[in-house]
């Protein structure tokens, strides 16, 4: 089921969302100072392509620089990417079949707002660790 949802997601929204993250990543990598934002953006682009079966977790080693970076990211790119996820989520939830896709889109809003200090891991790894 996860694979089917990922394929549908990829066709309907994943490609467009990933392109948005790649564009943000390229812009961030132009300046040397914002390369960490670009790397985070590219990481989230992969997540936006194939979200089902993956989970976002906090990195225990994230510190104050992540907080400062997240504030800058929120102002520069995060709000716009989050609005894209919210719009896609609302559009998906208009149909019963699209509800799982809408929920996946809403699930991406927090990481699109504050990506630094987060890691994207397979859900199976979380279940094995805490299950």
Q: Are 17 and 85 in contact (CB under 8 A)?
A: yes
Domain ranges across the chain: 2-130
Mean pLDDT within 89-102:
92
pLDDT at 131 > cutoff 60: no
Rounded distance between C-alpha atoms, residue 111 and residue 44, angstroms? 8
pTM above 0.95, yes or no: no
Burial of 3 (0-12, 13-18, 19+ CB in 10 A): exposed
Mean pLDDT, all residues of the chain:
87
Q: Which of 46, 53, 45, 50 is nearest to 81 (CA)?
A: 45
Q: Are 33 and 12 in contact (CB under 8 A)?
A: no
Rounded distance between C-alpha atoms, residue 81 and residue 109, angstroms? 8
Q: Are 92 and 57 in contact (CB under 8 A)?
A: no
Mean pLDDT within 123-129:
70
Rounded distance between C-alpha atoms, residue 30 and residue 90, angstroms? 33
Mean pLDDT within 51-62:
84
pLDDT at 128 > cutoff 80: no
Q: Are 123 and 73 in contact (CB under 8 A)?
A: no
Mean pLDDT within 46-75:
86
The reported pLDDT for the residue numbered 67 is 86
Three-class DSSP category at 120? strand
């Amino acid at each position: 089921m996860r694979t089917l949802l990922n394929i549908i997601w990829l066709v309907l929204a994943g490609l467009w969302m990933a392109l948005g993250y790649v564009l943000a990543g390229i812009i961030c990598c132009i300046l040397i100072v914002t390369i960490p934002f670009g790397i985070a953006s590219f990481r989230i682009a992969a997540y936006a392509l194939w979200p089902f079966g993956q989970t976002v977790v906090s990195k225990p080693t994230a510190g104050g620089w992540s907080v400062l970076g997240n504030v800058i990211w929120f102002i520069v790119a995060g709000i716009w990417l989050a609005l894209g996820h919210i719009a896609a989520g609302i559009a998906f939830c208009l149909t019963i079949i699209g509800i799982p896709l809408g929920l996946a889109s809403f699930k991406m809003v927090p990481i699109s707002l504050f990506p630094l200090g987060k890691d994207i891991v397979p859900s199976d790894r979380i279940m094995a660790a805490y299950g």
